[in-house]
Chain A
Amino acid sequence: QKEVEQDPGPLSVPEGAIVSLNCTYSNSAFQYFMWYRQYSRKGPELLMYTYSSGNKEDGRFTAQVDKSSKYISLFIRDSQPSDSATYLCAMRYSGGYQKVTFGIGTKLQVIP
């Protein structure tokens, strides 16, 4: 079993929809949770960074962490065609700067 599970998709939604992307994990030591966006043939870029459980909002993006269920989510409101990309979840434990575990990524397509 992988430490981090993520559905690869693809996920297709109409423009304006609310998108929900999710990851589950098995290592309860993970404390820091990240979401990256990766456009085709580009490097990943950090979208959201959260510590422990709770919600964090940044514009149209909301990250949720439920440590009791070992489940993290990224919500995208009012999705745009420019949001079409692969979204990677990632996580690490406290002090483990060198050990970030990534999900395989979910490919999202927002249809105009």
Chain B
Amino acid sequence: NAGVTQTPKFQVLKTGQSMTLQCAQDMNHNSMYWYRQDPGMGLRLIYYSASEGTTDKGEVPNGYNVSRLNKREFSLRLESAAPSQTSVYFCASTQEVSNQETQYFGPGTRLLVL
């Protein structure tokens, strides 16, 4: 049981390049999330998927797209990277049991856009 896995761990892009961040969970959770974490800003929600086949915008969706490929996988795509997208990206999935929600986070992807 690996929990939430993310690839790659680290990536350097040039402005204008594109890339896809991959996330997978093996806990059979319905909900999955993408966050970015920046110094002094805390974790901010980019996109989320409440269930397979659905996606919705979070607080900071501009410049990103997502795909919920199946129940396990939720990818985040940067079509044309900008220096403002330099950040640490975390994927998370959520278990909801008896009205208690537990979010499990992946180890993160550190992205540097030059």
Q: Using a Cβ–Cβ cut-off of 8 Å, how many residues does chain A contribute to the interface with B?
A: 23
Chain A, 12-46, CB within 8 A of any chain B CB: 32, 41-46
Determine the chain B residues whose CB is within 8 A of the CB of A90 once the complex forms.
Answer: 43
Query: Contacts A42-B107, A43-B4, A43-B90 known; A98 to B45 CB distance under 8 Å?
Result: yes
Given contacts A42-B108, A104-B41, 20 further A-B contacts (CB under 8 A): A4-B42, A6-B42, A32-B101, A43-B90, A43-B105, A43-B106, A43-B108, A44-B43, A46-B103, A46-B104, A51-B99, A88-B43, A90-B43, A97-B94, A97-B101, A98-B33, A98-B50, A98-B56, A100-B103, A102-B42
CB distance from B99 to the nearest CB of A (A): 8
B28 at the interface (CB under 8 A from A): no
Complex CA gap A59/B58 in Å reads 35
B79 at the interface (CB under 8 A from A): no
B31 at the interface (CB under 8 A from A): yes
B26 at the interface (CB under 8 A from A): no
Determine the chain B residues whose CB is within 8 A of the CB of A103 once the complex forms.
Answer: 42
Complex CA gap A41/B104 in Å reads 15
Chain B, interface size category, equals 20 to 34
Complex CA gap A103/B40 in Å reads 9
Complex CA gap A92/B31 in Å reads 16
Closest to B105 in A: A43
Determine the chain B residues whose CB is within 8 A of the CB of A104 once the complex forms.
Answer: 40-42
Complex CA gap A104/B41 in Å reads 6
Determine the chain A residues whose CB is within 8 A of the CB of B105 once the complex forms.
Answer: 43-45
Contact across chains for B42 and A97 when beta carbons are under 8 A apart: no
